[in-house]
Structure 1
Amino acid sequence: MVLNHCTTVGFHSDSQRAAINFGPPAEIKICTILETGVSEEETNKLFDYWNEELNLYSLKVIPLIYRKMARPGFTGGAIFSYLYDLELEPGCDRILYLKGRTIGDIVYEFFTLGIFLGVGLKLEIHGAVDSKTHSRGYIKSKYISTLQILFTSPESTLVHEGYHMLGCGHQLFMEKCYIQIQKIKTLAREKETEEGFFPTITPEGKKFQTRSAVLSEMQ
């Protein structure tokens, strides 16, 4: 499965965004998995930052602590192998894994820093969202390497992957993303959408209006 990795989403335009009617307020319930060492306080701070961005679209994300656990594997691929097997249970609109920081991560940070300084190749991936349904993803929530300080932060990574969870792809300018958010909010109000579920939509326009539809696509 192709993943939407964390890179630049696009440049914002306040005037274009202000011209779009995003409709009434809506909430998205995020079933959040905390890796050992990631606290609920840290999680709430990340979500507060994310909600500052989403307030521009009359949206709010609600973190629901799903479970606390050791990392299912070192790589992002191992994390996704675990996430793919999880259903969107009643009360969950999205699933987000908050990755912590281990001794192995610190060693890898030094390795990737050496590669970057040597040949200019940036190997770190700070987060990703699945490309089939845009319903689950992960971010590095306690990753404080030299490269991350230079390029990103846990807060900005969460905001970025949050746009993917709203169905936005990668684009230079954000106008298409604004329209996508308008579409998904309209979809959430349609009768065909499962009650209590905030639907998902892909950049190509494929809609998932029930949790069972998401599960079918992931299998």
Structure 2
Amino acid sequence: MSQQFPYYFLLLLFLFQCTTIGFHEKKIREEMAFGEESQFRVCLIAEPDITKEEISDLFKAWNEELSFYQLKALPVELAVMERPGFWGTDILGYLMEHQLTKDCDRLLYLKGRTWGDITFEVLTLGIFVGVGLKLEVQGAVEGQSNTRGYIKAKYISTIQMLFTSPKSTLIHEGYHLLGCGHQLFMKECYEKIRDVKLLLTDPNRDPNFFPVITTRGKKILSRDQVTTFTNKD
């Protein structure tokens, strides 16, 4: 039994990383005041195989989670394009060069599924089964301003579907887009979201921008600050 423990521990860690930003603490969350419902706009760059129905389903699931905090994400379809590169780092690099427009509070790239992706899934599945190492990344948010990220919005028939889904990936990365980091329990994340909503009344905030407190504790109140933090780091 002791020889099997490391494997089960790794599997638990794998499940934890894929499905959530941390474990919910319902009692603590319900005791916090998140104020009135607020909305923020998420501009979307999608690959050609992502349908409007899929986008609608993704945001429906995300908004169910955001309802805990009196928040709602509004999708704004910005562009449809082919992938700027195969790797997630290629996508993030592209997004970092893309400035937020006046209609965008966050920028999200929706990654589809190509034959290259399918081949990579098969390869990583073999590695996971063989040695328990997970190489496939379902999404990411840049750590400088926490305003840009991507998710793998379409995948089927892989071991990943046993543990996660595009919806749970969006919920996970959605917390990063609100400034939350990884933690075992969610109390710190709840406090971050509450404090971000309090910034809505900050007199220095651009009234046309939904603010963010990054995982590093930086308060970003305008799109100009997004650019400044991105260029500085």
Same fold (TM over 0.5): yes
Map of 1:187 onto structure 2: 199
Taking the TM superposition and a 5 Å limit, the aligned residue runs for 1:19-34 are 19-34=31-46
Higher CA-based Rg: 2
Which range moves more in the overlay, 13-22 or 196-205?
Answer: 196-205
The counterpart of 1:135, out of the listed 147, 150, 153, is 147
Taking the TM superposition and a 5 Å limit, the aligned residue runs for 1:1-219 are 8-219=20-231
The structure whose RCO (Cα within 8 Å, separation 6+) is larger is: 1
Q: 1:8 & 1:182 partners in 2: Cα distance?
A: 19
Q: Counterpart amino acid of 1:216?
A: T
- The verdict on how the C-alpha distance between 1:197 and 1:88 changes in structure 2, with shifts beyond 3 A counting, is same
Gaps of 5+ in 1: none
Report the CA distance between 1:189 and its aligned residue.
2.1
Q: 1:24 & 1:71 partners in 2: Cα distance?
A: 38
Map of 2:4 onto structure 1: none
Give the aligned length: 215
Bigger share in helix: 2
Report the CA distance between 1:7 and its aligned residue.
6.4
- The verdict on how the C-alpha distance between 1:61 and 1:20 changes in structure 2, with shifts beyond 3 A counting, is same
Gaps of 5+ in 2: 1-16
Q: Counterpart amino acid of 2:113?
A: R
- Percent identity, please: 52
Q: Counterpart amino acid of 1:27?
A: Q
Post-superposition Cα deviations, 1:166-197, rounded to whole Å, max 9, x if no partner, equal: 11100000000000000000012211110111
**Deviating 4+ runs (over 6 angstroms):** none
Post-superposition Cα deviations, 1:87-129, rounded to whole Å, max 9, x if no partner, equal: 1110100000000000000000100001011111110100000
Q: 2:157 & 2:105 partners in 1: Cα distance?
A: 31
Q: 1:37 & 1:181 partners in 2: Cα distance?
A: 33
Q: 1:189 & 1:162 partners in 2: Cα distance?
A: 22
What RMSD over aligned residues (CA atoms) do the two structures have, in Å? 1.2
Structure-2-length-normalised TM-score: 0.90
Report the CA distance between 1:144 and its aligned residue.
1.9
Q: Counterpart amino acid of 2:155?
A: Y
Q: Counterpart amino acid of 1:208?
A: I
Report the CA distance between 1:203 and its aligned residue.
2.3
Report the CA distance between 1:8 and its aligned residue.
3.9
Whether the 8 Å CA contact 1:6–1:161 is kept in 2: the answer is no
Structure-1-length-normalised TM-score: 0.95
Q: 2:157 & 2:170 partners in 1: Cα distance?
A: 17
